[in-house]
Amino acid sequence: MSNTALSLKPDYTVKVRVELEDAVAQAWALPDIVDASSCEQAQAGDTRLNKAIKALAAERLDFTRKLDAVKKVVLENEKALTKDAVEAQKLIAEGIDIYLEALRAEASRREAEAKAREVALAEAEEGEEHIMAPLVVAEPMAEVPNLPTRRVTHVLVNDPLLLPRKFLDPNESRIKAALEAGEVVPGAHLTYEDVRVRR
């Protein structure tokens, strides 16, 4: 990447730097303020320092405005260049989520079938019904890919009226901290969610 920003020299003009240095030197050389004359000198020195500081800030502002313009162009270029990549990531994430949801649905269906077979066999053994559960050869489940996830904890306040007085803000982070520390908080409990992490 070509850094056009490197051509901008972050330096102050000699005039501004010399004026600031002279104003500082003059301020250090001021006599103690003991009368009207020394007070006027101090006020004049303060005014000179203030003008020198403002001149320095004006040059800095001029420089940083140029940097902001460069930064804006760089960010716009980055956004244009990564647009297709971001869209591709979104499609991949959606595809993975659809696949994992299909695996979960298939697992639930198989579990329901297995429970139905168990119930039918148990009823047949007890003599209530003399039917045999059909023998179904289960297809092997597709292997679930090992995708990185992290557990996210949420506080669910199901009854705000039961919350103790100290949680009446209601301050979710304090409630969460109390629940995670093992404290019982009436009216609230923790819920957990496994969120897929993009590497």
Residue with more model confidence, 15 or 124: 15
**Residue 95 domain-assigned (yes or no):** no
Domain boundary, last residue among 43, 60, 81: 81
Q: Residue 130: what pLDDT? A: 46
Q: Measure Cα distances from 34 to 12, 38, 171 in Å.
A: 36, 6, 57
**Residue 17 domain-assigned (yes or no):** yes
Domain boundary, last residue among 56, 81, 106: 81
Domain membership of residue 157 as a residue range:
149-196
pTM score, whole prediction: 0.41
Q: Residue 131: what pLDDT? A: 47
**Residue 142 domain-assigned (yes or no):** no
Domain count, the chain: 2
What is the percent of the chain where pLDDT is above 70? 77
Q: Residue 15: what pLDDT? A: 93
End-to-end CA distance of the chain: 25
**Residue 143 domain-assigned (yes or no):** no
Q: Which helix (H) or strand (E) segment is 129 a member of?
A: none
**What are 71's two structure tokens?**
């930064």
Q: Which helix (H) or strand (E) segment is 10 a member of?
A: none
**Residue 144 domain-assigned (yes or no):** no
Q: How sure is the predictor about 129, in pLDDT bands with cuts at 50, 70 and 90? A: very low
**Residue 110 domain-assigned (yes or no):** no
**Residue 50 domain-assigned (yes or no):** yes
Domain boundary, last residue among 38, 54, 81: 81
